Structure 1
Amino acid sequence: MERLPVDTIISKIKKEELFHAVSEDYSFTLKIENYVHYVCGAVHNGHQFRKELWDNCLHTEYERWYEEDPETKQMITSHPIVIAGCDSRFEYDLNRPPEEAVFETAWGKQLWKHPLGEDLKQKSLNKHSDFFKVVYALISKLEEKFGVCIVYDIHSYNWKRWDREVPTWNLGTSNVDNDRFGEAIEQWRQSLSEIELPKDIVSTSKINNTFQGNGYFLKFITNNFKNTLVLATEIAKIYCNEYDQIIFPEVVSAVEKALQKRLPEHAANFYKKYNS
């Protein structure tokens, strides 16, 4: 892996170079092993939190971890194109628009002892901006090369906070073209429901059951690219103990292994149907 400035990353994409890079400020990673028509993203995977913010933050390290999506990058790590955030969403949230990306309150609790200065906010917003410059360059290249593109936008959610039964997998589709892509959406839902998991976990999957797919990553791509489908795919945190901050590696591994097979198969079917 190389450490590269954003301009260099964009230049490499435009030239269709293969590379594995972390941004110069360590805010995100991008791996391109091959130029294919699908991308895997894990925008909430990050846990880094700028040291200059530590003393001013009212949330504990555990409270931040609880709302992040740990291990989501690991679940998609084997795929040819993977983009992932390194920073905690408590510094800035890549799934919120710039004007909402730096929180003042987070999950019902004030985030900062003292309001953040504009210079501190701007540091975070510059990282947010750089990430989306790279996303724009990447999807532009893939649409230009393949005509269509599909993005698997992988998240996780805290299922124990719900007071009803919730699915292992949720697809949020309220901001994509369901008339056009409905078949691909249903095929992905069906495929996820067939995954076999350890610890007697049943793999159920539903559409717009817990989340509707209102994230900025999805909206940014959908609004800028007419031939790209973003599948906001949430896994319940059945792969960890969300209260004790313990990861279950065997479950993470089982999810990764299942997606190694199912995700490229789904992407191939998507290309076959929509490339025309």
Structure 2
Amino acid sequence: MQRGSIAIENVEIPKEENSDPLWSVTRSQSPIIGTAIHDGSHVRKSLRSRYALNEVERLREEDPFTASLIRGLPNQIVFHRSRFEIDLNRSRDQAVYLRPEQAWGLTVWKENLPQSEHRRSLLIHDDYYEMLRFFLDGIVRYHKHFVLLDVHSYNYRRADPDTPTPQDQAPDVNIGTFSMDRERWVHVVEPLMDHFRSFGVGGRRLDVRENVAFHGKGEQTRFVHEQYPGIGCAIAIEFKKIFMDEWTGQPDNSTLRELREALTSAVPLLERVLRSMS
């Protein structure tokens, strides 16, 4: 993987942080993969006193419970660090939030982040994408095609807890397809959207639309489509935070279970579609 323009040098990791997990991987021989790369809220010890934001403020922009949503998928990658340490879904040069405009107008750091800490975070970005390439190469050895479901969540009560974003601007499930060859993968994307629409949450059908609240412009989907053209289909799935209180962080376990079932039950459909492409 290209390291970019920043020179990478050996970085000594303090002993007390050596055991802090970066990510967890579950591997099967199915071609269907789920990722939750914004699920984590952990930050390394050397950064904790540097944040201008507290844990609750950071949690609002993280994607808690997305690891729970993908729990039933055969292949899973869950990132345990906060996006406020390193955002794996940003390009390398934007993956550490140094300025408010990179972080929803939030001032992330009390003072400028030292270059040594910046480098440590960038190394995690490099390591993740090296791991992801190795992981996907293993999937490709067994299958002609794969589908990666890049699962995220988004706030819809951003102004205050009592003022939701209008439904026409905030579907329950937003499917992002910006970086893919849409024509090639139409037989994957559209059946998946229809599948989600067949599910109900809280007594009503899910509102599922494409490229409304988000367009799927993240780094991970771009990486898949660039590195595995015609082989890998990466779909950015943004669940509106109807499964939790985005201000308190409390989950709605019933809705979580229903959304998890919608994802899990998509696996046979997607595997069948991929077999038909062979």
**TM-score, normalization by structure 1:** 0.86
The one-letter code sitting in structure 1 at the alignment partner of 2:173 is W
| Selected match of 1:170 from 145, 164, 174 | 174
Q: Secondary structure at the match of 1:156?
A: strand
Amino acid at match of 1:268: E
Q: Of residues 218, 230, 236 in structure 1, which corresponds to 2:234?
A: 230
In structure 2, C-alpha distance between the alignment counterparts of 1:144 and 1:75, rounded to whole Å: 27
Do the aligned residues in 2 keep the contact of 1:30 with 1:81 (CA within 8 Å)?
yes
In 1, Cα distance between equivalents of 2:117 and 2:128: 18
Structure whose residues are more often helix by fraction: 1
CA deviation digits over 1:47-102, x for unaligned, max 9?
Answer: 10122212211112111111111111111112221001100000010101111111
Residue in structure 1 matched with residue 129 of structure 2 by the alignment = 132
Match of 1:108 in 2: 105
CA displacement, residues 25-47 of structure 1 (integer Å, 9 cap, x when unaligned)? 41111011x21111111111111
Aligned pairs (5 A) from 1:22-171: 25-32=20-27, 34-104=28-98, 105=100, 106-161=103-158, 163-165=165-167, 166-171=170-175
User: For residues 54 and 237 of structure 2, what CA distance do their matches in structure 1 show?
Assistant: 27
Residue segments in structure 2 that go unaligned for 5+ positions in a row: 1-17, 159-163
**1:215 aligned to 203, 215, 218, which one?**
218
Check conservation: 1:156, 1:236, Cα contact below 8 A: yes
Once residues 240 and 202 of structure 1 are traced to their aligned partners in structure 2, the CA distance between those partners, rounded to angstroms, is: 18
In the other structure, the counterpart of 2:194 is 190
Q: Alpha carbon RMSD of aligned pairs, Å? A: 1.6
Are the equivalent residues in 2 in contact too, given 1:172–1:211 (CA < 8 A)? yes
Partner of 2:179, secondary structure, is coil
Please say if residues 76 and 259 of structure 1, whose CA atoms lie closer than 8 Å, have aligned partners that are also in contact. Answer: yes
8 Å Cα contact 2:73-2:263 kept in structure 1: no
State the distance in 1 between where 2:227 and 2:19 align. Answer: 26
Whether contact under 8 Å (1:168, 1:202) holds in the other structure is: no
Inter-partner Cα distance in structure 2 for 1:99 and 1:163 = 31
Shift of 1:259: 2.1
Which residue of structure 2 aligns with residue 14 of structure 1?
none
Q: Deviations over 1:159-182 (max 9, x none)?
A: 223643221000011110111111
Letter in 1 for 2:83: R
Amino acid across the alignment from 1:26: P
Structure that is richer in strand per residue: 1
Q: Are 1:203 and 2:206 an aligned pair?
A: yes
Give the residue type in structure 1 aligned to 2:180.
V
1:132-180 Cα offsets, whole Å, 9 max, x none, are: 1111011112123211111011111112236432210000111101111
Q: Report SS of the residue matched to 2:129.
A: helix
Q: Is the 8 A contact 2:32 2:271 kept in 1?
A: no
